[in-house]
Amino acid sequence: MYRKKVMTTLAAAATLGMLLGGCANQAAAPGGSTSEGAAGAVNIPALTSVETPKDAVLPAGDGKANCPATTTLAYVGAETGANAQLGINIFNGVQLAINEHNAANPGCQVQFKKFDTEGDPNKATGPVTQATKEEGIIGVVGLPFSGESKSTGNIFEQVKLVHITPAATNPALTDNGWTTFFRGLGNDAVQGPAAAKFITGKLQAKKVYIVQDDSEYGIGLGKTTSDGLGSALIGTDKVTTGQKDFSATISKIMNSKADAVFYSGYYAEGAPFDQQLVAKGYTGTFVGPDGLKDDQFIKQAGDASSNSYFTCPCIPGELIPSFEKAYKSLANMEPGTYSIEGYDAATVLLSGIDAGNQDRPSLLKWVKSYDKDGLSKHYKWNDKGELQAPTVYGYKVENGKIVPIGAIGE
C-alpha cells in the first residue's frame, strides 16, 4: 500500500514537473535541427499553355474515309470501382475522338463499346475475353492499370487484337514478349530518371532523401530515381502500405538536413507522410510520382501539400484549348489525368481504320509501323511496344490545386 502511494505521488509530481517545464520554456527558440531548404525557395511558374505538334494527327482525318458499319473500337478498363475516375477520364477521351471522327466521316461510322474491369486484375479477364470474342472489335484502348494489363495481355495476344494502354506504367509489362501490347506513355523506368533530373536540376536540390513504399511500383520507381540522383542521394528509407505514423523515417530525414524528399508510392501513405514531415519543421521540397498526383493528396496532406511537386508521364490536356473545350462539352468536366492519352490512342487506331486497315491483323500492322505526332506527343513504338520518345511532365501544388509546370527530364 505504501509503495503504491509513493508511485502515484511520484507519477503526479513528474507530470506536474513536465507541465510546468513545458510552460516555462515555451518561449525558447527552436534548436538547430530545422533544415534550411534551398529548394523550398525555388519557384517554378505554372504553365498556362502547352505547345501541340503542328501537324498532329486528329481523329477527323480528311473526311473521305469509308468503312463497314460493323467497325468497332473498344475501351476495356475501369468504369466503376475505387479507381473509376481514371477510367472515366480515359474513355471520355476515347469517346471524344470517335465522335469527332464520325462527325467528319459520314462514310465511316465507327462504333464504340465499353467493357468494365473495375480496375481489378482478378475481374479483368472476363470483360477482356468478351471483347476479344466480338468480331467487329478491331482495336482496343486499355487496359489502364498495370496489374490488370499483366493478367490479360495473353488473351489479346492469342487473338492478335491490338491494344494501346493509355495509363499502365509498369516497365515489366513490355517484357512479356507480347506483340499486340503498346504503351501510349512513358513507363516508370523513364519517370525515375526524369524525376531525378527534375529534383537536382530545376528544383536545385543538393541533398535528396528517397522514401519508398513496399509496392512493386514504389520499389521500381525508387530504384530508377536513386540511380538517377547519384551523389545527391543522401539516404533512403522504406515504409509500408497502410502505415500511418512515419516519425522514425521523418526523424532520420530531419537529421540528414535533406532539402528535397522524393516519395515513391501512392497518395494514401504519401499524403500523411508529407503532412507529418512539415509538422516536424521540414521546409524543403516534397516530390512524388504520378501515384501521388491526385486531389486526394491535397485533401489529406492539407496545407503541408503546398511544398509538393509531382512527376507524371501524362500531358496536361486541360491546357490544349481545342481539346479542353471539346472535352468539357462532352463530359461536363475538365479533362483529367490520362484523358488526352486516351484521345490520342483512339486517334492512332482511327487513322488506321481511315487508311483502310479494317481488320485485326492489318490494324495491328498499322500501329506497329505508326510514326506520327499526336496531340500530346510523337507516337512511334519500338518492337517491344514502348514509345521511343516519351514525355514526362512536372506538376506542382498551387493554391490547393495541381497545376502543370512543363516537361521535365530533357
Partner 1 sequence: MLPTILLAAPVSNDWITLDFPSLAQNFWSATFDGLTFGSIYALVALGYTLVYGVLNLINFAHSEVFIMGCYGVWFTLSFLGFGPSAPNLDIGQIIVNLLLAFIVAIAASALTAFLLERLAYKPLRKRNAPRLVFLITAIGASFTIQYLIFIWRGPVPEQALTMFKPTPIFDVFGTIIYSDQLIIVCAAVIMMVVTDLFISKSRTGRGIRAVAQDPDTATLMGVNKERIIITTFVIGGILAGAAALFYVMKIPSGVVYNGGFILGIKAFAAAVLGGIGNVRGALLGGLLLGLIGNYGQILLGNSQWTDVVAFMVLVLVLLFRPEGILGTSLGRSKA
Q: With respect to partner 1, which residue has the nearer C-beta, 4 or 54?
A: 4
- Residue from 36, 135, 303, 359 in contact with partner 1 (CB under 8 A): 303
Distance CA 66, CA 373 (A): 23
| Separation of alpha carbons 372 and 348, rounded Å | 9
Of 77 and 171, which has the nearer Cβ to partner 1? Answer: 171
Is residue 6 near partner 1 by the rule CB under 8 A?
Answer: no
Residue 179 binds partner 1 (CB under 8 A): no
Nearest to partner 1 of 19, 333 (CB atom): 19
**66 lies in the binding site for partner 1 (CB under 8 A):** no
Name the amino acid, one letter, at 42.
V
Asked if 272 touches partner 1 (CB under 8 A), the answer is: yes
**Residue 382 binds partner 1 (CB under 8 A):** no
Decide: 169 and 145 in contact? Cβ < 8 Å.
no
Whole-number Å distance between alpha carbons of 122 and 394: 33
Measured CA to CA, the distance from residue 93 to residue 77 in angstroms comes to 13
Residue 302 near partner 1 by CB under 8 A: yes
Angstrom distance (rounded) from CA 281 to CA 112: 52
* Whether 123 contacts 55, CB under 8 Å: no
Burial group, residue 354, by CB count within 10 angstroms (0-12, 13-18, 19+) = buried
Cα 260 to chain centroid, rounded: 20
**Exposure string (b/e) for 298-323, b if CB count within 10 Å is 16 or more?**
bebbeebbbbbbbbbbbbbbbbbeeb
Closest to partner 1 by CB, 165 vs 347, is 165
Task: Cell 506497329: give the residue.
Answer: 368
Task: Give the DSSP H/E element, type plus range, for residue 293.
Answer: none
Selected range binding partner 1 among 115-123, 270-278, 363-371, 383-391, rule: CB under 8 A: 270-278
Q: Counting contacts by CB under 8 A, is residue 334 touching partner 1? A: no
368 binds partner 1 (CB under 8 A): no
Binding status of residue 189 toward partner 1 by CB under 8 A: yes
Number of residues that bind partner 1 (CB under 8 A): 60
Mark the segment that binds partner 1 (CB under 8 A) among 4-12, 43-51, 88-96, 311-319.
4-12
Q: Is 12 in the site for partner 1 (CB under 8 A)?
A: yes
Query: Which one, 114 or 223, has the nearer CB to partner 1?
Result: 223
Query: For partner 1, which residue of 223, 257, 368, 384 counts as binding (CB under 8 A)?
Result: 223
13 binds partner 1 (CB under 8 A): no
CB atoms under 10 Å from CB of 55, counted, come to 8
Q: How far is the CB of 245 from partner 1 (least distance, A)?
A: 6
Instruction: Kindly tell me which of 101 and 150 has the beta carbon lying closer to partner 1.
Output: 150
Segment interacting with partner 1 (CB under 8 A) among 30-38, 108-116, 345-353, 359-367: 30-38
**Residue in this structure with the C-alpha cell 551523389, named with its chain if needed:** 231
DSSP string, 59-79: TTTTS-----TT-EEEEEE-S
CB of 367 to partner 1, least distance (A): 24
Contact 194, 395 (CB under 8 A): no
Instruction: Kindly indicate which of the ranges 54-62, 94-102, 231-239, 380-388 contains the residues binding partner 1, using the contact rule CB under 8 A.
Output: 231-239
C-alpha cell at 386: 514502348
CB of 3 to partner 1, least distance (A): 9
Q: Per CB under 8 A, which region of 66-74, 92-100, 267-275, 376-384 contacts partner 1? A: 267-275
CB nearer partner 1, residue 105 or residue 146:
146
| 238 near partner 1 (CB under 8 A) | yes
Task: Quickly count: other Cβ atoms within 10 Å of residue 11's Cβ.
Answer: 10
What whole-number distance in Å separates Cα of residue 237 and Cα of residue 178? 35
Q: Site for partner 1 (CB under 8 A): which residue of 92, 276, 351, 391?
A: 276
Enumerate residues 81-140 that contact partner 1 by CB under 8 A. Answer: 82
Phi, psi values for residue 76, rounded to 5°: -120, 120
Rg (CA), the chain: 25
- Residue from 38, 44, 46, 254 touching partner 1 (CB under 8 A): that is 254
Answer for the pair 363, 357: CB distance below 8 angstroms, yes or no. Answer: yes
337 Cβ contact list (under 8 Å, min separation 6): 86, 89, 290, 293, 294, 312, 314
Per CB under 8 A, residues contacting partner 1 are: 4, 8, 11-12, 14-15, 18-19, 21-22, 25-26, 28-33, 82, 171-172, 175, 189, 214, 216, 219-220, 223, 236-240, 242-249, 251-252, 254-255, 268, 271-272, 275-276, 279-281, 296, 298-303
